[in-house]
């Protein structure tokens, strides 16, 4: 089904370390910004979908996260649906909200993503990621990661997963080593992703890190899990992002002159398949292109899930931006940098904008909406008309646990 929801307003807090700001305050700030951007009032909202992944583990708030946040700013009575789907929590919330608007159930819906990951006890923060795999198979997963690291001579990757860092960095590191061996991708190309995104993030006032880095800076940074140095790994963070979606009829009533339309949102889970075979990324992107009536060649700007630098390179390939094995070339030839053929992660991506897990998906939509409306300032992509967001989370076996690909068009 082709979607026809319209983005009426967006809002986002700065991402970063907000030790003195709670989940309610972060979420409330993003909602207020999105409502103000839409020109509507809080009382106009007819339903809300709230994405969050880790509040239960990190803050102890379970079950009614969305209701608690919204009641803090006087929003009650309306239906509130809490959505938890790993790193794809808020993009899943947006998917559900857009579907309900398209189906005619509501005319004005809020989609919110919010997360607090910083905690005095770092094990709580890392535990939020360790729970996004099959925990009954944890011992086997850790053994496999350690064996992969030892076989490749990766000293840093041989211990510390889930304690000193998110275990997902070890999963990405293993995938990166495999990509290098199979396709000849270089560590300099992976470092180039971090350098590019740091350049973009340096121009984003809401980004967690604003320092521009060179490839040499990235390579000289502390090793986390070979070949990933610290800037090649997304940080934990706190923050929130929100979108107000309206129906086409309501958009006309509001006088939205150049509407940004959600023309496709495809949600899939991974499955058991052989390593190297097409997975959720390929399936989601193909379905999204077909649903929106566009192809990779039509894209103006992309926000994708660079939870690690190698993840961005691999996403280029399964999104159809280049053939398999050629993702590294898009980095080294400047294609995905601002001014290049197809700018990717103009926000700074997860690597520099930050990765408050439950807020990440909608933060991508905020960036794309502003790009398509021509209000991204010095990081504006000239003439942007079609944007794609890719947001995945969790891991089971050979594939991501949840994946969402969303396409916006003006």
CA angle 41/43/46 to nearest 5° reads 110
Provide the domain limits for residue 274: 5-120+236-409
DSSP 208: S
Residue 297 belongs to a domain with what CATH number? 3.40.47.10
Taking only the tens place, the pLDDT of each residue in 249-263 is 999 999 998 899 999
Residue 108 counted as domain residue = yes
Residue 216 burial by CB count (10 A; 0-12/13-18/19+): exposed, middle or buried? exposed
**Contact (Cβ atoms closer than 8 angstroms) between residue 145 and residue 157:** yes
Confidence tier at 163 by pLDDT (50, 70, 90): low
Confidence tier at 357 by pLDDT (50, 70, 90): very high
Taking only the tens place, the pLDDT of each residue in 169-197 is 999 999 999 999 999 999 999 999 999 99
Residue partners of 170: CB distance under 8 A and separation at least 6: 145, 149, 157, 161, 225
**Contact (Cβ atoms closer than 8 angstroms) between residue 241 and residue 363:** yes
DSSP 6: E
The residue among 386, 392, 396 whose CA lies nearest residue 284 is: 392
Residue 231 counted as domain residue = no
Residue partners of 222: CB distance under 8 A and separation at least 6: 229, 230
Residues involved in catalysis: 87, 355
For 182, phi and psi rounded to 5 degrees? Answer: -80, -40
Residue 164 counted as domain residue = no
**Contact (Cβ atoms closer than 8 angstroms) between residue 3 and residue 102:** yes
pLDDT at 164 over 70: no
pLDDT at 141 over 60: yes
Q: What is the C-alpha separation between 50 and 112, in angstroms, rounded?
A: 5
pTM for the structure as a whole: 0.95
Taking only the tens place, the pLDDT of each residue in 4-54 is 999 999 999 999 999 999 999 999 999 999 999 999 999 999 999 999 999
Q: What is the C-alpha separation between 385 and 300, in angstroms, rounded?
A: 6
Question: Domain total for the chain?
Answer: 1
Residue 84 counted as domain residue = yes
- β-pairing, 47-51 with 5-12? unpaired
Confidence tier at 150 by pLDDT (50, 70, 90): confident
- Report, as an integer, the average pLDDT of 226-237: 96
Q: What is the mean pLDDT of the chain?
A: 94
Collapsing DSSP to helix, strand or coil, 368 comes out as: helix
Q: How far is CA 195 from CA 191, 342, 351, in A?
A: 6, 16, 10
Residue 373 counted as domain residue = yes
Residue whose token pair is 């001579």: 153
Residue 206 counted as domain residue = no
Collapsing DSSP to helix, strand or coil, 136 comes out as: helix
The residue among 203, 212, 210 whose CA lies nearest residue 367 is: 203
Residue 98 counted as domain residue = yes
Q: What is the C-alpha separation between 340 and 344, in angstroms, rounded?
A: 9
Q: What is the C-alpha separation between 176 and 314, in angstroms, rounded?
A: 9
Q: What is the C-alpha separation between 301 and 304, in angstroms, rounded?
A: 10
Taking only the tens place, the pLDDT of each residue in 323-350 is 999 999 999 999 999 999 999 999 999 9
Residue 151 counted as domain residue = no
Confidence tier at 160 by pLDDT (50, 70, 90): low
Alpha helices in 260-303 (DSSP H): 280-292
């Amino acid at each position: 089904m082709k979607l026809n929801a319209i983005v009426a307003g967006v809002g986002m807090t700065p991402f970063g370390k907000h030790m003195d700001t709670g989940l309610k305050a972060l979420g409330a700030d993003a909602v207020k910004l999105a409502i103000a951007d839409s020109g509507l009032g809080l009382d106009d909202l007819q339903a809300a979908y709230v994405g969050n992944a880790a509040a239960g583990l990190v803050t102890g708030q379970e079950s009614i996260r969305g209701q608690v946040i919204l009641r803090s700013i006087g929003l009650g009575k309306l239906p509130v649906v809490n959505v938890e789907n790993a790193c794809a929590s808020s993009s899943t919330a947006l998917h559900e909200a857009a579907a309900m608007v398209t189906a005619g159930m509501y005319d004005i819906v809020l989609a919110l993503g919010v997360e607090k990951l910083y905690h005095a006890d770092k094990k709580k923060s890392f535990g939020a990621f360790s729970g996004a795999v099959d925990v009954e198979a944890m011992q086997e997963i850790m053994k496999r990661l350690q064996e992969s690291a030892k076989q490749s001579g990766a000293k840093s990757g041989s211990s510390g997963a889930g304690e000193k860092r998110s275990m997902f960095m070890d999963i990405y590191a293993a995938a990166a080593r495999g990509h290098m061996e199979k396709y000849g991708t270089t560590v300099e190309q992976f470092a180039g992703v971090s350098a590019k995104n740091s350049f973009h993030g340096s121009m984003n006032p809401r980004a967690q890190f604003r320092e521009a880095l060179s490839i040499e800076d990235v390579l000289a940074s502390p090793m986390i899990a070979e070949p990933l140095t610290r800037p090649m790994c997304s940080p934990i963070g706190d923050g929130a992002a929100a979108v107000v979606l309206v129906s086409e009829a309501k958009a006309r009533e509001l006088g939205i002159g150049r509407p940004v339309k959600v023309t496709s949102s495809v949600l899939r889970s991974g499955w058991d398949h052989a390593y190297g075979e097409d997975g959720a990324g390929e399936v989601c992107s193909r379905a999204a292109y077909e649903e929106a009536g566009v192809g990779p060649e039509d894209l103006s700007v992309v926000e994708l899930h660079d939870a690690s630098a190698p993840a961005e390179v691999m996403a280029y390939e399964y999104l159809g931006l280049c053939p398999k094995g050629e993702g590294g070339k898009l980095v080294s030839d400047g294609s995905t940098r601002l001014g290049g053929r197809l700018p990717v992660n103009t926000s700074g991506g997860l690597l520099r904008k930050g990765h408050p897990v439950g807020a990440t998906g909608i933060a991508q939509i905020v960036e794309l909406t502003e790009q398509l409306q021509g209000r991204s300032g010095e990081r504006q992509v000239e003439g942007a008309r079609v944007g794609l967001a890719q947001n995945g989370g969790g891991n089971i076996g050979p594939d991501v646990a949840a994946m969402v690909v969303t396409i916006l068009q003006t």
